[in-house]
Amino acid sequence: MTVLESTGRPRVGVLGGGSWGTVLAHVAATSGNAVSLWVRDPETAAAITATRRNAKYLPDLEIHPGVAATSDLASIGRDCGVILVVVPSHALRETMARLGDHLDGSHILIHAIKGIEPDSFKRMSQIMQEETCCKKIGVLSGPNLAKEVAQGHPSATVVASGYQEVIEAGSEIFRSKTFRVYGNSDVVGTEMGGSLKNILAIASGMAEGLGFGDNTKALLLTRGLAEIMRLGVGLGADPMTFSGLSGIGDLMATCFSPLSRNYQVGNRLAKGETLEAIQAHMRQVAEGVRTTRTVARYARTHGIYMPITEGIYRILYEAATPKEALSGLLDVSRNPYEGDAAKRAAGIP
């Protein structure tokens, strides 16, 4: 008996019809699963059913016939034993509160959201625990650019959970020749790595837009990884997690690819566009914009040294220019890490 069969419900549910949610639904169906893809708009669900395309986000992908689009949230809880949650971070609590009425303790929930709740600083898995009765919860995160996964490029991801059954479910659902799933038990590290790397992707896009080379971007990434570890370890993460797919792997993919929405934001800011104009013309959320504000304010309040995050915050929210903010961060004539008690306490160089 498979993990999916043991839930008593035969389908996989995917909440969220953006590019990543659509691709995950497609991959799960390609791997032999019956999949329900939930989208908010009934017209969008009907269009996907009729055309086998998500015209708004992935017009070139012919969605596998095993994916059935629906706008009926209750049917996801009723019919699906494993549910992948891929809505924007700001919509998670409301979506889980609605879905919670249709869940019981047998459901497995796995989210693929890279964000942190602003006021509470809670991770997505914590919100899911608060808004539903489910305990079998996990996170899927890794160097996964939706377009490349959709094209069948060899890719891998991580499913992290305190429950082995959740890890097995993720591996079972996405079992294929081109998409590999690794498991670990470090939910905190996997979630924080996935969320915080978006801040660095904005910085990397800015560096590219300002004409800096790979040396500069490598400096940003390595010192940025130290910031991610400093905060993550302080919250209870295993430092080794950040050397894996959901840490440095995700960081590399997001910070070097123009396909990354956060990279695009940074690049366009460096070329003189306003944040308001960029966001108005983006079809999907660049989570790093909200995450920068959330993390910078948390770091200030708790005395955590995160200079790159602070610099990006100044650019996004305090009218600093990318050139002046990044130039200050990249001043190698001084050692900005002297006296960093939080770093030493975490054992990070």
At 284, the pLDDT band (50, 70, 90 cuts) reads: confident
Percent of residues in the chain assigned helix, strand, coil, to nearest 5: 55, 15, 35
Q: For residue 344, is pLDDT > 50? A: no
Fold match, 3-185 / 188-346: no
At 129, the pLDDT band (50, 70, 90 cuts) reads: very high
Q: What is the pLDDT of residues 229-275, one digit of tens each?
A: 999 999 999 999 999 999 999 999 999 999 999 999 999 999 999 99
- 188-346: CATH topology is N-(1-d-carboxylethyl)-l-norvaline Dehydrogenase; domain 2 (1.10.1040)
Mean pLDDT of 172-182: 94
* Residue in this structure with the two tokens 């799960």, named with its chain if needed: 28
Sorted by sequence, the CB contacts under 8 Å of residue 213 that are 6+ apart come out as none
Q: Which residues lie across from 82 on neighbouring strands?
A: 12, 108
Three-state DSSP class for residue 199: helix
Instruction: Find out whether 201 and 255 touch, Cβ atoms under 8 Å.
Output: yes
What pLDDT is recorded for position 56?
93
Instruction: Find out whether 165 and 1 touch, Cβ atoms under 8 Å.
Output: no
What pLDDT is recorded for position 333?
52
| E strand spans, the chain | 11-15, 35-38, 67-70, 80-85, 108-111, 137-141, 155-161, 179-184
The fraction of the chain above a pLDDT of 70, given in percent, is 92
| CA 267/CA 101 separation, integer angstroms | 42
Sorted by sequence, the CB contacts under 8 Å of residue 155 that are 6+ apart come out as 142, 143, 144, 148, 149, 178, 179, 180
Structure tokens at 329: 């961060």
Q: For residue 173, is pLDDT > 80? A: yes
Catalytic residues: 197
Mean pLDDT of 174-184: 94
Q: For residue 312, is pLDDT > 50? A: yes
Instruction: Find out whether 12 and 79 touch, Cβ atoms under 8 Å.
Output: no
Mean pLDDT of 159-180: 96
Q: What is the pLDDT of residues 191-217, one digit of tens each?
A: 999 999 999 999 999 999 999 999 989
At 330, the pLDDT band (50, 70, 90 cuts) reads: low
Structure tokens at 184: 């670990």
CA atoms 128, 134, 140, 146: torsion sign:
negative
Mean pLDDT of 54-76: 96
Q: How would you label 172-207 residue by residue, b for 16+ Cβ within 10 Å and e otherwise?
A: bbbeeeebebbebebbbbbbbbbbbbbbbbbbbbbb
Sorted by sequence, the CB contacts under 8 Å of residue 23 that are 6+ apart come out as 58, 61, 146, 149, 150
Three-state DSSP class for residue 111: strand
The fraction of the chain above a pLDDT of 90, given in percent, is 84
At 168, the pLDDT band (50, 70, 90 cuts) reads: very high
Structure tokens at 21: 């949610």
Q: Where are the domains of the chain?
A: 3-185, 188-346
What pLDDT is recorded for position 221?
92
Chain centroid to Cα 82, Å, comes to: 19
Find, among 252, 287, 276, 274, the residue nearest to 142 by Cα. Answer: 252
What pLDDT is recorded for position 1?
58
Amino acid identity for residue 171 in this structure:
S
Q: Pick the residue with more confidence: 191 or 328? A: 191
What's the CATH number of domain 3-185, 1.10.3720.10, 1.10.287.3510, 3.30.450.260, 3.40.50.720? 3.40.50.720
pTM: 0.92
Instruction: Find out whether 331 and 307 touch, Cβ atoms under 8 Å.
Output: no
Find, among 151, 159, 164, 168, the residue nearest to 27 by Cα. Answer: 151
CB neighbour class for 21 (10 Å; exposed up to 12, middle 13-18, buried from 19)? buried
What pLDDT is recorded for position 337?
45
Instruction: Find out whether 299 and 229 touch, Cβ atoms under 8 Å.
Output: no
- Indicate the average pLDDT of the chain: 92
| CA 233/CA 231 separation, integer angstroms | 6
What pLDDT is recorded for position 10?
80
Q: For residue 88, is pLDDT > 70? A: yes
Three-state DSSP class for residue 62: coil
